[in-house]
Amino acid sequence: MRKLNLRQLILLLSVSTAVLILANTFYTSHKTQRDLLIAQTLEANQAYASKMANSIEDFLSAAQQQLAFAAQDVLLAGNNLEKLGHIANRLNEQTDSFNSVFIVDTSGVVIAASPEAVGLFGKVVMSEGAEQALRERIPLVSKPYVSVTGRLLVFISQPIIDAQDNYLGFIGGSIYLHEKSILYSLLGRHYHANDAYIYAVDSGGRIIYHQDAERIGEVIVGNPVIEKVVKQQTGSQYLLNSHGIEMLAGYAPVPSTNWGVVTQRSLEATLSGMDQQMLAVAKYSFPFFIFIVWLVWLVSRWISKPLWQLARSAEELDEPDINTQISSISVWYFEASQLKRAMLRGLAGLNKKMGKLNLENITDPLTGLINRRGMQIALDEWERQEQPFSVIVADIDHFKRINDEFGHDVGDRVLQTLAQHMQAASRPDDLVCRSGGEEFVILLPQTETAVAHRVAERLRKRIAESICPNVNRPVTLSLGVASWPCGSASIAQVLKNADIALYAAKDAGRNQVQASQTACE
């Protein structure tokens, strides 16, 4: 198979780089715009929900004030039914606050009502709102309930109390939830009418306003946004609605009633138009991309000759006269000159770099500790020299929980932090190794078991008292200690004894040190 020449390789590499950069630019731009649109929509929905919640709060406060003022008029009217009826009519007709108004005496009898068509004048009202008002005798906003007229409504009431603090009944107004009411006037339709909507719920998750009137009165279960807003929380989040549609929701509570207002817009609607925008960007970027390809092709021919010569020389680095060959290459621009100098310097430092490469092969890239291969090399050398040593095997307790709860990135930072503590707590001649996963090994030359046990205990306390990044609970170690030589046991058996001691520490409750109980015979 014919290989690419240097000019073709430069062209291919440059074009590939340009394509990758262009693709990355589009991806980054798309993701950035997507995240920005989502963040802006969440913020706007939360702000809109808060505004509507404040409007409802202000309305309820104003409605209570209207009822309180009317209650004083009721006291002045005494038992004059005509005046009482006029008060009820005025309260009902002067604003859109209520669908109906009632004045009720202490026995629950309606002594005035507006409109009169509700047909409750002179009757004892048995609704939840009326009974609650008669029972508690304080200003109230009821939960939604079905009235004696069969309507789903909310009842706002104000007690009537004379100058001698005698309770004379109450005056109240109803808001019909399935009919045109003040909630419709306050909430109306969201400004993205076709793609988003706003709804309100009571403290039990029952819908008290929705642009789809058929859903009013429905109790929503399992919706995380509703669960938060009925707990009087304010915020925004992504969720799947009851139809499986991705939504961006903002929510805010109405403190005085424990109601909540939710504003939602579909993710699809939020991101609509972005793809067309990206296509427009691509359309205008393509001619520039073609120009770049042509320019790279032209330049590749221009620079190929000296680079081709250097590349040929790179293939013959084992030749005895390679330094002379490289030195004789004529380079006429800075990059080629630097490459020529780098190749000459590279030849001089090749052995040094090979040594560094060997070091990298025995080093764990995550923690910077000696890896299992390097540990085995050290153990083989100590065995050859008959060097006594103790070994500490350490394992992070419940490390899987850390990865599962906080993610593998946090788990990696925990491993790095523990590695730093181990290196800081070790002596210059000690070897700190990562044998795999969350398990570490510390080799202590010329150290007895008792001394190693104390070292392990100090390390255990140091880790338990330290704070690992992004983990909101202590991270602890279980450790096992063993020593070599141990009778006729091999080094592999001693390492196994340390592992057995480690598992004994875990079985005993973790976060402790156990020394090997295996007898050395």
Question: For residues 26 and 228, is the Cβ–Cβ distance under 8 A?
Answer: no
Give per-residue pLDDT as tens, 16-35.
Answer: 877 787 778 878 888 888 88
Give per-residue pLDDT as tens, 432-463.
Answer: 999 888 899 999 999 998 999 999 999 999 88
All structural domains of the chain, each given as residue ranges with its CATH number in brackets, are: 64-176 (3.30.450.20), 188-270 (3.30.450.20), 279-348 (no CATH), 358-515 (3.30.70.270)
Question: For residues 424 and 416, is the Cβ–Cβ distance under 8 A?
Answer: no
Give per-residue pLDDT as tens, 358-412.
Answer: 567 788 888 888 988 888 888 898 888 889 999 999 999 888 888 888 888 888 8
Question: For residues 513 and 460, is the Cβ–Cβ distance under 8 A?
Answer: yes
State how far the Cα of 247 lies from the Cα of 60, in Å rounded to an integer.
29
Where is average pLDDT lowest: 53-62, 73-82, 308-317, 375-384?
Answer: 308-317
Quote the mean pLDDT of the chain: 83
Query: Where are the alpha helices (H) located in 315-448, listed in sequence order?
Result: 322-328, 334-348, 350-361, 372-385, 399-406, 408-425
Where is average pLDDT lowest: 57-66, 292-301, 367-376?
Answer: 292-301
Question: For residues 480 and 498, is the Cβ–Cβ distance under 8 A?
Answer: yes
Classify burial at 457, counting beta carbons within 10 Å of its beta carbon; exposed 0-12, middle 13-18, buried 19 or more.
middle
Counts for the chain of helices (H) and strands (E), in that order:
15, 16
Beta bridge partners of 434: 440
Assess whether pLDDT exceeds 60 at residue 355.
no
Assess whether pLDDT exceeds 90 at residue 319.
no
| 8-state DSSP, 220 | P
Tokens describing residue 484: 């070599």
Where is average pLDDT lowest: 70-79, 172-181, 282-291, 349-358?
Answer: 349-358
SS3 state at 428 = coil
Among 427, 462, 436, CA closest to 369: 436
| DSSP codes of every residue in 279-331 | HHHHHHHHHHHHHHHHHHHHHHHHHHHHHHHHHHHHTTTTSTTHHHHHHH---
Classify burial at 225, counting beta carbons within 10 Å of its beta carbon; exposed 0-12, middle 13-18, buried 19 or more.
buried
The pLDDT value recorded for residue 317 is: 66
Please report which helix (H) or strand (E) contains residue 152, including its range.
Answer: strand 152-161
Q: Band of the pLDDT at 499, cuts 50, 70, 90?
A: very high
User: Strands 152-161 and 140-141, how do they pair?
Assistant: antiparallel
Q: If phi over 0 gives left and psi between -120 and 50 gives alpha, with beta otherwise, what is residue 205?
A: left
* Strands lying side by side in the sheet with 477-484: 431-436, 439-445, 389-396, 477-484, 513-515
Give per-residue pLDDT as tens, 320-334.
Answer: 677 777 777 777 777
Classify burial at 161, counting beta carbons within 10 Å of its beta carbon; exposed 0-12, middle 13-18, buried 19 or more.
middle
State how far the Cα of 406 lies from the Cα of 437, in Å rounded to an integer.
17
Tokens describing residue 291: 């120009």
Q: Band of the pLDDT at 158, cuts 50, 70, 90?
A: very high
The pLDDT value recorded for residue 351 is: 39
Q: Band of the pLDDT at 191, cuts 50, 70, 90?
A: low
Among 394, 452, 384, CA closest to 419: 394
Tokens describing residue 54: 């404040």
State how far the Cα of 521 lies from the Cα of 514, in Å rounded to an integer.
20
Q: Tell me how far the alpha carbon of residue 383 is from its chain's centroid.
A: 51
State how far the Cα of 12 lies from the Cα of 237, in Å rounded to an integer.
45
Where is average pLDDT lowest: 73-87, 281-295, 296-310?
Answer: 296-310
State how far the Cα of 464 lies from the Cα of 383, in Å rounded to an integer.
34
Q: Is the peptide bond before 485 cis (omega within 30 degrees of 0)?
A: yes
Mean pLDDT over 50-60 rounds to: 89
Assess whether pLDDT exceeds 60 at residue 356.
no
Question: For residues 281 and 26, is the Cβ–Cβ distance under 8 A?
Answer: yes
Among 424, 396, 410, CA closest to 470: 410
Assess whether pLDDT exceeds 60 at residue 347.
yes
Assess whether pLDDT exceeds 70 at residue 161.
yes
Tokens describing residue 465: 């008292």
Give per-residue pLDDT as tens, 239-270.
Answer: 888 778 888 999 999 998 888 999 988 888 88
Report for 23-32, 181-190, 490-499: range of highest mean pLDDT: 490-499
Mean pLDDT over 283-290 rounds to: 77
Q: Band of the pLDDT at 104, cuts 50, 70, 90?
A: very high
Assess whether pLDDT exceeds 80 at residue 316.
no
Among 480, 479, 500, 490, CA closest to 520: 490
State how far the Cα of 264 lies from the Cα of 238, in Å rounded to an integer.
9
Q: Tell me how far the alpha carbon of residue 261 is from its chain's centroid.
A: 23
State how far the Cα of 249 lies from the Cα of 60, in Å rounded to an integer.
24
SS3 state at 214 = helix
Percentage of the chain lying above the pLDDT 90 cut: 21
